[in-house]
Amino acid sequence: MKRLAVYCGSASPADGRYVTLAREVGQELARRGIGVVYGGGRLGLMGAVAYGALDAGGEVIGIIPEALVNSEVANHDCTELHVVSGMHERKKRFTDLSDGFLTIPGGVGTMDELWEAMSWAQLGYHAKPVGLLNAFGFYDHLLAFNRHMIEVGFVREAHAGILLAEPSLDLLLARMAAHEPHTPIFAMKADDL
């Protein structure tokens, strides 16, 4: 994995563990020679990931919608900063420029990015690993809901392993590096669906 799209919040929660975690993720990715592709902001966890990677000598590519550049939240310290027309183009660029997706704590936008990466993997728009860092148990309920969707049958057995979740970055990156693509919906016959 040469580059990972990192999905996370643009907010800074009162609990400082989250910002510290984001900074450490950026530093560790840079230490491993893995570039960061992210939302291009300088605030919150996004900014912490970017500055953690930059401070450790890593590559950081920001992808930010024009409207957010005008709101003065763009991180002009990135190795590269791509300004795009909107969110759809932003997420497509994340997919095009990365070798996988790493989600750390965040809010609604982070969930949008994570679920789209999973959905696109399920369909076959990409065959890249989708990782979720469940630090501090932040995503326990989300993981339970994902299991529930699988158990009920809304997620096919062939796609039950798309989401790779671990509580530690080392374990998660190891699983992502060992990722084996599944059979996407686009390659299935109607009887398999």
Mean pLDDT of 146-151: 97
| pTM of the predicted model as reported, rounded to 2 decimal places | 0.95
Higher-confidence position of 188 and 102:
102
Whether 128 has a pLDDT exceeding 90, the answer reads yes
191 — pLDDT class (breaks 50, 70, 90):
confident
Whether 188 has a pLDDT exceeding 80, the answer reads yes
Residue 71 tokens, joined: 């709101």
Is there a contact between 46 and 8 (Cβ–Cβ < 8 Å)?
A: yes
Whether 69 has a pLDDT exceeding 90, the answer reads no
189 — pLDDT class (breaks 50, 70, 90):
confident
Whether 193 has a pLDDT exceeding 90, the answer reads no
Q: Specify the pLDDT at position 70.
A: 75
Is there a contact between 167 and 126 (Cβ–Cβ < 8 Å)?
A: no
Mean pLDDT is lowest, of 36-40, 124-128, 189-193, for: 189-193
Q: Specify the pLDDT at position 109.
A: 94
Mean pLDDT of 77-105: 96
Domains by residue range for the chain, with CATH? 3-192 (3.40.50.450)
Q: Cβ contacts of residue 190 below 8 Å, gap of 6+?
A: none
Classify 65 as helix, strand or coil: strand
Q: Specify the pLDDT at position 3.
A: 98
Mean pLDDT of 147-175: 96
Q: Cβ contacts of residue 159 below 8 Å, gap of 6+?
A: 121, 122, 182, 185
